[in-house]
Structure formats: structure tokens, C-alpha cells
Amino acid sequence: MEETILNCQDSAEGILTAVYRAYEWKLPRDRVSIRTGAVDLCLFASCRDVETRPDLAKKVSDTIKRRFGRQVWEDLSFAMAACDERKGTAVLRTIDLGLSGRIRGRLTQGLGEEWIRIVFELGRRVRNEYHRQQEFLRFRQAQEGYLFALTEPKEDVTAFLMPHFSDRLPMENFVIVDSLRGIAGVHPAGRPWVLLRLNEEEKGRMAGAAGHTSQEEAEAAELFRCFCRTVSIRERENPGLQRQHLPLRFRGTMTEFDPPG
Amino acid sequence: MEFRIGQEMPLIKKLEILTDAAKYDVSCTSSGSRRSGDGTGIGNTVKAGICHSFSADGRCISLLKILLTNECIYDCKYCVNRCSNDVARASFTPEEVCRLTIEFYRRNYIEGLFLSSGIWQDPTFTMGMIYRTVLKLRKVYRFRGYIHVKAIPGADPEVVRLTGFLVDRMSVNLELPTAEGLSRLAPNKHRKTILTPMRQIQNGIVSSREEVALYRHAPSFVPAGQSTQMIIGATPEHDYQILSVAESLYRKFDLKRVFYSAFVRVNEDRELPALPGGPPLLREHRLYQADWLLRFYGFSADELLSEERPDFNLLLDPKADWAIRHLEQFPVEVNRASYERLLRVPGIGVKSARRIIQSRRSCALDFCHLKKMGIVLKRAQYFITCSGKMLYPVRMQEDYLARQLIDSRERLPFEADRVTYRQLSLFDDRRFVMDRQNFVRQAWT
Ligand code: SF4
């Protein structure tokens, strides 16, 4: 039988809707792929667009949690945030393997199976990026008093960062901007956070925010730079080791690496 | 925010002096506590801790590590702040420490505060100032992030107790591995005054755990446990002595972490070794690796070293070194071996051992699976079989394996020694190890 490609939005909801449809439409799972990016001409396969339906996605996520537990749900959520073409298909096949009952123990650790290994690998990549952003993300204070962070994460991790920072800074107004994907997590003080897709004008405004920081911001930044400089032990200096732990790609947005002046 | 609070000295200058004075304390972890935000204050803690930056020496910056003051009435020979040194002195007010912590924290520069201090007037007064500072930070600023403070030996136990209910971690530095070393280099300090607060904190932690089990809202005492630090290479102890001290601290005092700090010669003093090669970083690194083996891999100090062989082989990590001296225990069959045995294989860590146990339930594992799971086959291949087969036929012979495992590209936390690694053949290695250890000791005598 012919291959089917389900073409969906690049988000967890999009992928889970496609998973739902694969079952609903009774497509043979080993011949279905889920694509989240632009699909090139499908010559040897039939292509179907899947429109995102939050209610259907929720049904699938509920099933995953119920059948395989919270841990597996978390693993799959991380995998779905990866910047990787294989993720949709890998999630579908992993769920299918789980429902078949062939995997003993925690589903996402059945690493003997190729598709589960992919889910595992993608999840690991996203988790790493999430941890890195928890470490290296820097807030700056805008003139208006709110905090903003400009980030360029390799994977789509803003939705994971928001609960982390909302718990720590409940009384702050803050925004985390993913400049690469044009996504912003917005947290108004004392209220729940939301995720927004930025339009062109908003993107420009957020990028410009860096130029409008407060005097206090300059002072705090100067103090921190002084701290970082001083805390290093001269006899142990080792730029290679520093780079190994803190790759150059993060430094562009980190206060302590701002060019002087 | 007002950073200058009517002081004679600008805050940034104070910060510079009091960071510089605190930097030789190596501990900077923010791990061991899990506390979520309360919805109105500021901060939380995560179990594994978070590093936020890395300084030019490659060490992690997780906490705002400062002294409250670098005034000190003591005269420890190895310390920049000793009273006989003529250095710029400064002191923070509790308010200044709080503002710095909060402003750094909300920008995600740090996980919290690590506050230590020189001995200001007397130990109890100093501990009292530390207490007042963290009390303000917790109660006035509602800070729920990580706090690590030093317990000052000789301070009134009541102040130590009160402080313990406000902080995540406390540490008392052992400073030097033996009492003799201590009396030589830190004449004002005594083993007993150091061990007394350590015991007090240990007991406090135990009884607080019991109370929390009974009453959920009982305040918890030092929830992230206590740690300590030893200076390595300032006195002539062998690795075996140092590791045995660490082991008994873990066992008898229930310490969370022991830190090793390669001695940096900051003072001119004839009691201090010269160390022309710089701080003994490779030795420090091996001690950390061995410490890891004690805590997570079920090794004991006696398995790794002995009176006859009291120092680590600087060219091999302690686990590989142990393995090639115990070839009778290998190879290990990956599809059947217990977790404990897997852990002893070079190239298999805690995570990969767990993954192996999990995955082999659904199918027999081969080398390809292992590789994808993140097992370092380059090291593990000599010690394992998959369904009875080795990856390549190898000679199970000590010298041969040692040569394979000496890794010229080993990721060491410093660069200086790498050249030596590549240049040496195994037979020279042993001499090199000897030389190096003798050298350290000679330098000292
Ligand atoms: S007590 Fe000793 S180690 Fe501590 S600050 Fe004073 S001189 Fe330095």
C-alpha cells in the first residue's frame, strides 16, 4: 500500500492531532509519516494536511498519560520540541509500539527499537538545550521596569522555560523572546503566563528593547561583570575549559560577555 | 534601586575586594534542595542545582560567592586575608548583601548566595552577622533561592542552630587533612573546634528530618546537607590519607560533599611549599574522580589505594586504574551483569548502567545498542561482552590495556599537562608518576 504523509503544524498540538488522525483514518501506522516542515512534492506518497485541533490533541495526551505514565508523556513532549524532521513520525511509531504491548518497562527506554531511540535522542537534545537556557538566559531590565530576555535556542524550549521562571519570579513582569522562531513567553506579575507568536512589528519591537534598558540595569550589569572577572583564579586560568562548558554561541546574549562600554 | 548606601567605599569596590577574598573556596554548587516558589516572594531551588556562568578559569559560577568581611583576627599561613597581610579591607552591610543577591538573582545571574567571612572580632560575633544577613534576606526580601553559609568554628552553637534553619547548606572547612598540618599552617584553628560544629550540624539535620516527617510544616534545618573543603598539596599527605579522611567524613559525619582545592601559593611563607609547576591540578582532578567513585559507584578508599600504593596514577583515571589491576573480574556480560558490576566497567556511568538494565528487558543488547545509549565503547570494549562476544578479540593483559586506556585526549579541567601525556610511553609513565609525587613532596620539605 501507498505511503501516507500527514502534514501538520510544528507544535505538540499539531503532531498529536496528526497521531489522532492516523488512528481515526485507520492508516497502517508503519506506512504513515508525520511531517512538521514544508513538504516537498509527494510523488510516491499521498499527502494530507492536518489542521490542528487542541481537543483531539488533548485526547491523545490523556491517553499517553493514562497508558504509559507521566514520565513517558514528559519524554515525548521534549521530543516534540526538537528541531528535527523525524520527530512526528518517531512519536507516532513509539506510541504504536507502546499500544502493541511489546515494550516492557518504561516505554521511552525500550532503546532496542529504532524509533524509540530517536525519541530518546531528540528528547535528550531538547532537555540539554532547556538546561542550557536555564543556565545562560539573562534578563535585562527595560526602562519601563519589566524584565526581558532575548534567546536563540537550538530547540523550541520557551514553553518549558516559562513555568521554571514563573515559579521563581512570580511578582515580576517578564518576557522571554525566542528570536529565531518569533515566539514570546509573557508573564504578567502575579498572573499565569502565555505563549505568543509574534508578528513582524512585535519582533522588531522586542529586538529593539535591548537598546532601552534602565540606569539600574547598567549598574547591575557592571557589578556582575566585576564579580565574574574577580572570582576567576589567575593561576588556574583556562579559556578552553571555559569554552567547553559555556560555548561561544550563548555569549552574544549574556550580560557578562557584553563588550565593555 | 540604590546601590550606594551612603558609604565611604563604592559598592563595586567592596564587591571586588570581597569576591577576590572569597574565590579560593572551591565549592559553588547549588544542589541538594528542592523548594518551589511561594507565589509572592522570589526564588526557588532545583534539586540538581544550576550553574549560571563559567569564569575564565573554567569554574562554574552558581552562587554569589563573597565574604561578609575580609577583616580577620586569625593568621592562617595559606590565606590572603590573614591578619599579618597588608591588603585592602572591606565589609558589606547585611543590606548590601541582600540587594546584590536579589538584583543578581532576578536577572538569572545566580542561583543564590554563598556567604563566608573572615573572623570579625570573634567567632560568635561573625556568625551573628552572617545570621542577621540571611535572616534579612529570607524574611524582609522573601528570598527562596539557595543559600550556603559557612559555620564559624568556635561560635556559640545557638547562633549556628538559628542560622541552620534559614539556609540550604552549611559548611565548615576542614582546611587540611591532618591535625599536624592544621597546627602548622593554621595555628589559631584546631581539629576539635572544626569537628564540633560539623557534628552539631549533622545532628541538627537528623532531628530536623524526623520532625519534618512528623509535622509537615516544621522548619527544615540545612536541607541540602553540609560540605567541607581540604587544601591539597600545602602539606605532605598522600592521596590515600586524603581519600580516607573524605571517606570517614561521608560515613561518620554524613557529609554531602567534600571539596578538594589545589593549593595556590598566595603568600610568601617558608612553611609553604614552592610548587613551581603551579597548583597541583591533575592531582586535584584525580581526587575528585575518586571521590565520585566513593559516593556513587560503591568503591571504598581501601580498594583504590593502599599503604604500599598511596597515590593515584596521574595518567589514568582511578576507575580504569582499578579495572586493569582487577582483570580477574572481567569481562562482564552486559545482558546479565548486576547494576553494581556494570558500574565498575570503565566507560559505563550511573546513567548508562541504568539504561542498560532498563533496555535489556525488551531485547538482547549488542554493541550497536550500547553505542547509541551513550556508552563509551572506546573504554568499555575491553571489559564487556554482549551475548558472550567481545567487540574485538583483545589481550587481557595489564600493560597492554593501560596503554589503550591512557587517553591523550582525556578532557582534563586544565591544559598544561596534556603534552606530557602524549609524550610518555607506559614505562616512563610510572617513573613520571613517581617523579611528580616526589617532586611535590620535596618541594614541601
Ligand atoms: S580564619 Fe584563616 S582562612 Fe579564614 S579568613 Fe581568617 S586567616 Fe583566612
Q: Which residues of B touch A227 (CB under 8 A)?
A: 15, 19, 61, 64, 104
State whether B290 and B353 are in the same domain.
no
At B166, is the pLDDT very low, low, confident or very high (cuts 50, 70, 90)?
A: very high
Distance CA A117, CA B365 (A): 13
Residue A87: per-residue pLDDT: 95
Distance CA B141, CA B96 (A): 12
Among residues B289, B298, B341, B296, the alpha carbon closest in space to that of B319 is found at B289
State whether B33 and B148 are in the same domain.
yes
State whether B159 and B55 are in the same domain.
yes
**Are B363 and A140 within 8 A, CB to CB?**
no
**Are B264 and A244 within 8 A, CB to CB?**
no
Choose which residue among B24, B26, B79 to substitute to test ligand 1 binding: the one with the highest number of ligand atoms within 8 A of its C-beta: B79
On the question of pLDDT at A21 being above 70, the answer is yes
Residue A248: per-residue pLDDT: 92
On the question of pLDDT at B433 being above 50, the answer is no
Among residues B179, B290, B279, B289, the alpha carbon closest in space to that of B243 is found at B290
Q: Which of A227, A245, A255 faces B107 most closely, judged by CB atoms? A: A255
Mean pLDDT, residues B282-308 taken together:
93
**Are B15 and A236 within 8 A, CB to CB?**
no
Among residues A72, A90, A158, A78, the alpha carbon closest in space to that of A125 is found at A78
State whether B283 and B369 are in the same domain.
no
Please tell me the total count of domains within chain B: 2
**Are A226 and B363 within 8 A, CB to CB?**
no
At A72, is the pLDDT very low, low, confident or very high (cuts 50, 70, 90)?
A: very high
Ligand 1 atom closest to B175 (CA):
3
Distance CA B301, CA B350 (A): 19
Ligand 1 centre distance from Cα of residue B27 (Å): 16
Q: Which residue has the cell 551573628?
A: B128
State whether B291 and B347 are in the same domain.
no
Amino acid letter, B65? K
Residue A172: per-residue pLDDT: 96
Residue A204: per-residue pLDDT: 83
Mean pLDDT, residues B186-198 taken together:
91
Does any domain span residue B444? no
Tens of pLDDT, residue by residue over A217-258, are: 999 999 999 999 999 998 888 888 899 899 999 998 899 998
Ligand 1 atom closest to B117 (CA):
5
Tell me, letter by letter, the H, E, C secondary structure of chain A. Answer: CCEEEEECCCCHHHHHHHHHHHHHCCCCHHHEEEECCCCCCCCCEEEEECCCCHHHHHHHHHHHHHHHCHHHHHHHHHHHCCCCCCHHHHHHHHHHHHHHCCCCCCHHHCCCCHHHHHHHHHHHHHHHHHHHHHHHCCCEEECCCCEEEEECCCCCCHHHHHHHHHHHCCCCCEEEEECCCCEEEEECCCCCCEEEECCHHHHHHHHHHCCCECHHHHHHHHHHHHHHHHHCCHHHCCHHHHHHHCCHHHHCCCHHHCCCC
Mean pLDDT, residues B313-334 taken together:
90
CB B250 within 8 A of CB B202: no
Ligand 1 and B432: CB distance under 6 A: no
**Are A241 and B58 within 8 A, CB to CB?**
yes
Does any domain span residue B219? yes
- In terms of C-beta density within 10 A (0-12 exposed, 13-18 middle, 19 or more buried), how is residue A68 classed? buried
- Name the residue of chain A whose CA is nearest to B278's CA: A235
Query: Does B270 touch chain A if contact means CB atoms closer than 8 Å?
Result: no
Q: Whose CA is nearest to atom 4 of ligand 1?
A: B118
At A214, is the pLDDT very low, low, confident or very high (cuts 50, 70, 90)?
A: confident
Residue B313: per-residue pLDDT: 86
At A39, is the pLDDT very low, low, confident or very high (cuts 50, 70, 90)?
A: low
- Name the residue of chain B whose CA is nearest to A106's CA: B358
Mean pLDDT, residues B162-175 taken together:
95
Q: Which of A219, A230, A236 faces B414 most closely, judged by CB atoms? A: A236
- Lowest-confidence region among B68-77, B87-96, B172-181: B172-181
Distance CA B139, CA B51 (A): 25
Tens of pLDDT, residue by residue over B338-397, are: 999 999 999 999 999 999 998 888 788 999 889 888 888 988 999 999 998 888 877 777
Residue A61: per-residue pLDDT: 95
At B441, is the pLDDT very low, low, confident or very high (cuts 50, 70, 90)?
A: very low
Per-residue DSSP letters for B79-128? Answer: -TT-TTS-----B--HHHHHHHHHHHHHTTS-SEEEEE----SSHHHHHH
Per-residue DSSP letters for B370-382? Answer: HHHTT--HHHHGG
Tens of pLDDT, residue by residue over B151-160, are: 999 999 999 9
Does any domain span residue B291? yes
Does any domain span residue B108? yes
Residue B417: per-residue pLDDT: 38
- Name the residue of chain B whose CA is nearest to A142's CA: B107
Ligand 1 atom closest to B73 (CA):
6
Per-residue DSSP letters for B52-85? Answer: -EE-TTS-EE-EEEEESB---S---TT-TT-TTS
- Lowest-confidence region among A174-188, B211-225, B426-440: B426-440
Among residues B43, B111, B96, the alpha carbon closest in space to that of A172 is found at B43
Per cent of chain A over pLDDT 70 is: 96
State whether B287 and B393 are in the same domain.
no
On the question of pLDDT at B256 being above 70, the answer is yes
Residue B85: per-residue pLDDT: 94
**B residues 195-254 lying closer than 8 A (beta carbon) to A:** none
Which of B34, B35, B57, B368 is best to mutate for the A interface (most A CBs within 10 A)? B57
Cα angle for residues A137, A139, A141 (degrees, 5° grid): 170
Residue A47: per-residue pLDDT: 87
At B421, is the pLDDT very low, low, confident or very high (cuts 50, 70, 90)?
A: very low
Distance CA B3, CA A145 (A): 17
Residue B237: per-residue pLDDT: 92
State whether B335 and B200 are in the same domain.
no
At B432, is the pLDDT very low, low, confident or very high (cuts 50, 70, 90)?
A: very low
Q: Would you say the C-alpha torsion B16, B17, B20, B26 has a positive or negative sign?
A: negative
Choose which residue among B72, B183, B184, B189 to substitute to test ligand 1 binding: the one with the highest number of ligand atoms within 8 A of its C-beta: B72
On the question of pLDDT at B445 being above 50, the answer is no
**Reduced to 3 states, what is the DSSP secondary structure of residue B11?**
helix
- Name the residue of chain B whose CA is nearest to A246's CA: B54
How long, in residues, is chain A?
261
Residue predicted with more confidence, A45 or A32: A32
Ligand 1 centre distance from Cα of residue B74 (Å): 6
Does any domain span residue B46? yes
Distance CA B32, CA B63 (A): 14
State whether B334 and B292 are in the same domain.
no
At B324, is the pLDDT very low, low, confident or very high (cuts 50, 70, 90)?
A: confident
Residue B222: per-residue pLDDT: 95
Q: Is this structure's pTM higher than 0.80?
A: yes
Does any domain span residue B391? yes
Mean pLDDT across chain B: 87
On the question of pLDDT at B435 being above 70, the answer is no
Residue ranges making up the domain that contains B343: 318-431
State whether B287 and B343 are in the same domain.
no
Per cent of chain B over pLDDT 90 is: 65
Interstrand relation of B112-116 and A45-49 (parallel, antiparallel or unpaired): unpaired
At B102, is the pLDDT very low, low, confident or very high (cuts 50, 70, 90)?
A: very high
Residue B338: per-residue pLDDT: 94
Phi/psi for B283 (5° steps) reads -65, -45
Query: Does A148 touch chain B if contact means CB atoms closer than 8 Å?
Result: no
Ligand 1 and B72: CB distance under 6 A: yes
Does any domain span residue B274? no
Residue B234: per-residue pLDDT: 92
Tens of pLDDT, residue by residue over B7-65, are: 579 999 999 999 999 999 887 889 989 999 999 999 999 999 999 999 999 999 999 99
CATH of the domain at B244: 3.20.20.70
Distance CA A189, CA A154 (A): 28
Residue B205: per-residue pLDDT: 94
State whether B326 and B232 are in the same domain.
no
Distance CA A54, CA B359 (A): 33
Crossing angle, helix B94-106 and helix B11-20, to 10 degrees? 90
Ligand 1 and B81: CB distance under 6 A: yes
State whether B123 and B222 are in the same domain.
yes
On the question of pLDDT at A90 being above 80, the answer is yes
Residue A57: per-residue pLDDT: 95
State whether B105 and B248 are in the same domain.
yes
Does any domain span residue B250? yes
Ligand 1 and B123: CB distance under 6 A: no
Residue B409: per-residue pLDDT: 57
Q: Whose CA is nearest to atom 7 of ligand 1?
A: B82
Residue B408: per-residue pLDDT: 52
